[in-house]
């Protein structure tokens, strides 16, 4: 059940409260001979994604149309019936834009039904990937609006993506998400509703897709997994509108990473395969190496050592072909050593401790951005503890805790807690110092 952000947005536009809508629906129902007794709690359930019964959706449209003095359809309020004819724009790119911007608005306003929504699984999780991979394509993405979109506007979006990505890497997703969501509402939404040719529209949707992907990363880093998934799905739809298969493959890599975190290992394998297959020659060596490495992790968790080792070899081969300066901005996260730490995790799951430590040490030996270095040190410390090298593990954990200080990231906190628990069990000399440093890093308010 997904939050109904369209209904939330149109209620805000109409200036009507939850209690007010319930009262007006009851009144409209009486005019039809219905004895309705809805209260604000019912409206809250509708906003969480519950569909009201009987004639109530039509009554909501009637109430809002009178308030806004314009026609309001079931699709406008997010209550169109699956399988039934929709309003002309509902399944179109313009309809998608309205649904996407409604989510941005609800996120900025910190709506609990949006922030706390769980991630979907099964068919609802798979369909956005299938729709990206398969026809129909967007033949023409041009649009007529009040504001003419210029190359300077698109460059502003690209610069913003780079800015927020760096902020995320240094400060974490929790601090960054509120800023990037505000930017989406203030700057990106009006541009998507603006006036542009097909060629300009492709560039606009690509630039916005990159921004939305970073927003999803920040939501994932904040433990808002349902929200992160919706942003990733939006970014995938924007990638399709842009015609850039490489961007779509990058977004799917983000979905693969989230699937691994949620222990949906078969889904992670399938998504990575879809990205590699559909992007084809448009996929870059950096992205291919990351996708293969994540597949290796998924296979390792599934206990399929042969497939895991095969993917490790493919990841390493792709990594050797990476040429700095020939990769898009989005794959900049695939820094030297990233594949090593991914492979180390796969090998750790397979019980290959010596090989895992070799890759983890190689990862730490390469330069990385701040949060990436924390992850690498955490992996190395974990492997050292598993090998029984407690003294070295403690020294590595101290570096990790010092590096993590000041970052607001739920994923990093998970890493810190896991290492601390392992240290507590080993009871080695120096453990208390490392634990104290980790506790200090964990005291950063989220």
The domains found in the chain, sorted by start residue, are 5-90 (no CATH), 108-360 (1.25.40.10), 369-446 (no CATH)
Handedness of CA 61, 67, 69, 75 (dihedral sign): negative
pTM of the model as a whole: 0.84
The 10s digit of each residue's pLDDT in 264-280 is 999 999 999 999 999 98
What's the pLDDT score for residue 250? 97
Q: Name the band, by pLDDT with cuts 50, 70 and 90, for residue 406.
A: confident
Supply 1's token pair.
């059940």
Cβ atoms of 347 and 381 within 8 Å: the answer is no
Chain mean pLDDT for the chain:
90
Among 221-235, 367-381, 396-410, whose mean pLDDT is lowest? 396-410
Residues 6+ apart with CB under 8 A from 393: 381, 382, 384, 385, 422, 423, 426, 428
The 10s digit of each residue's pLDDT in 356-371 is 999 999 999 998 888 8
What's the pLDDT score for residue 91? 59
Residue 84 vs residues 47, 79, 94: alpha-carbon distances, Å: 21, 11, 19
The 10s digit of each residue's pLDDT in 64-117 is 988 888 878 888 888 876 544 444 444 589 889 988 998 999 999 888 888 888
Bridge partners (DSSP) of residue 148 are 195
Among 136-150, 288-302, 380-394, whose mean pLDDT is lowest? 380-394
* Percent share of the chain, pLDDT over 70: 95
């Amino acid at each position: 059940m997904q939050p109904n952000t369209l209904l939330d947005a149109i209620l805000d536009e109409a200036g009507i409260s939850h209690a007010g809508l319930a009262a007006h629906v009851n009144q409209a129902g009486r005019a039809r001979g219905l004895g309705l007794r809805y209260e604000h709690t019912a409206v809250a359930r509708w906003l969480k994604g519950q569909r009201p019964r009987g004639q109530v959706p039509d009554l909501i449209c009637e109430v809002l149309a009178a308030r806004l003095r314009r026609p309001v359809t079931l699709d406008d309020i997010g209550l169109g019936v699956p399988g039934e004819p929709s309003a002309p724009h509902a399944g179109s790119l313009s309809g998608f834009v309205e649904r996407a911007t409604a989510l941005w608005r609800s996120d900025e306003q910190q709506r609990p039904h949006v922030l706390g929504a769980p991630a979907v699984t099964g068919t609802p999780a798979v369909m956005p990937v299938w729709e990206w991979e398969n026809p129909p394509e967007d033949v023409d993405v041009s649009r007529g609006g009040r504001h003419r979109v210029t190359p300077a506007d698109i460059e502003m979006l690209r610069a913003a993506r780079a800015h927020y990505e760096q902020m995320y890497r240094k400060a974490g997703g929790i601090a960054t998400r509120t800023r990037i969501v505000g930017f989406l509402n203030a700057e990106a939404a009006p541009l998507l509703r603006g006036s542009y040719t097909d060629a300009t529209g492709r560039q606009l949707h690509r630039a916005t897709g990159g921004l939305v992907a970073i927003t999803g990363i920040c939501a994932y880093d904040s433990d808002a997994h349902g929200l992160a998934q919706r942003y990733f799905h939006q970014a995938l739809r924007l990638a399709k509108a842009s015609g850039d298969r490489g961007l779509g493959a990058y977004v799917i890599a983000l979905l693969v990473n989230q699937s691994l975190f949620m222990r949906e290992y078969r889904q992670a394998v399938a998504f990575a395969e879809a990205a590699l297959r559909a992007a084809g020659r448009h996929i870059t060596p950096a992205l291919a190496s990351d996708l293969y490495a994540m597949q290796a992790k998924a296979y390792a968790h599934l206990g399929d050592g042969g497939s895991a080792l095969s993917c490790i070899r493919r990841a390493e081969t792709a990594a050797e072909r990476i040429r700095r300066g020939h990769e898009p901005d989005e794959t900049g996260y695939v820094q030297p050593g990233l594949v090593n730490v991914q492979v180390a995790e796969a090998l750790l799951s397979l019980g290959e401790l010596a090989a895992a430590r070799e890759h983890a040490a190689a990862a730490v030996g390469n330069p990385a951005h701040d949060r990436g270095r924390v992850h690498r040190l955490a992996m190395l410390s974990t492997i050292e503890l598993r090998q029984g090298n407690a003294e070295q593990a403690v020294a590595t954990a101290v570096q990790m805790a010092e590096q993590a200080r000041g970052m607001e990231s739920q994923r990093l906190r998970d890493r810190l807690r896991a290492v601390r628990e392992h240290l507590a069990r080993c009871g080695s000399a120096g453990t208390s110092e490392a634990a104290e440093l980790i506790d200090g890093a964990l005291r950063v308010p989220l």
